[in-house]
Amino acid sequence: MREHIERLAQMLREARYAVALTGAGVSTDSGIPDFRSPGTGLWAQYNPLEVASIGGFRSNPQRFYEFWRQRFAKLADAQPNITHTVLAELEARGYLKCVITQNIDDLHRRAGSKRVLEVHGNYTRGLCLGCKRTYTIHEIFEKVERHRVPLCDHCKNLLKPDVVLFGELLTPDFDQALEEIAQSDLVIVLGSSLEVYPVAGLVPQAKSLGARLVIINRDETSYDRLADLLIRSELHPVMAELRRALSS
């Protein structure tokens, strides 16, 4: 694996515009379970259409909040891990231009990354589906504790975490992500199954525009065949070795 990581370090040194694309596997070392791993992912145990779709949310918001209350509390307790911190270091040192993330956990920002495109939203915020007033997630869950279903103080419409549910469009950050991909000459995918669209479509788009592609993931992805460098591994040892390689 060391040879692969030395090659990755060299690709970063040579890149004019490197971008990282991160998925749920980046945050598992922080104690946040992923969604799609066979047998252990959340969607192997629960029906996402009931607890993670906009239709399910509107039809049974109490069930939605019962499901997510403890999980959102776990996000608040989670701390950035080595992958988050190394990506922040790469940006600070000029190797990385931005992070495009499918994660809603805010850990990239907390680790120090400045340019983070959150295409699926950020769990720390919420908004009213009626008047669009914003709330913190703490304010929303205080209302959940008192009333089970949180309603807006101003128009009494439902409050929703500012995260993309199944059946919703991605955030405006996705438009910016398209622009970043168009400029990139190196895209590094970390901890993503590349099964969720339209985000997964950024990978063949980058390749079609001439960017080199690195995929670092524990499991196989459907775009492995496009990779210029494929590292099949847990992220922690890779990022520790990459930090060493770029420090030498």
Is pLDDT above 50 for 40? no
Q: What angle do CA 205, 207, 209 make, to 5 degrees?
A: 70
Q: Which of 176, 229, 187, 231 is closest to 209 using CA atoms? A: 187
Residues belonging to the active site? 120
For range 197-210, the mean pLDDT: 96
pLDDT 10s digits, 136-194: 999 999 999 998 899 999 999 999 999 999 999 999 999 999 999 999 999 999 999 99
Query: What residues does 214 pair with on adjacent strands?
Result: 188, 229
Give the pTM: 0.92
Q: Which residues of 185-199 are buried (b: 16+ CB within 10 A; e: fewer)?
A: bbbbbbbbbbebeeb
Rounded CA separation 222/174 (Å): 21
Q: Which residue has the tokens 């479509």?
A: 201
- What's the Rg (C-alpha) of the chain? 19
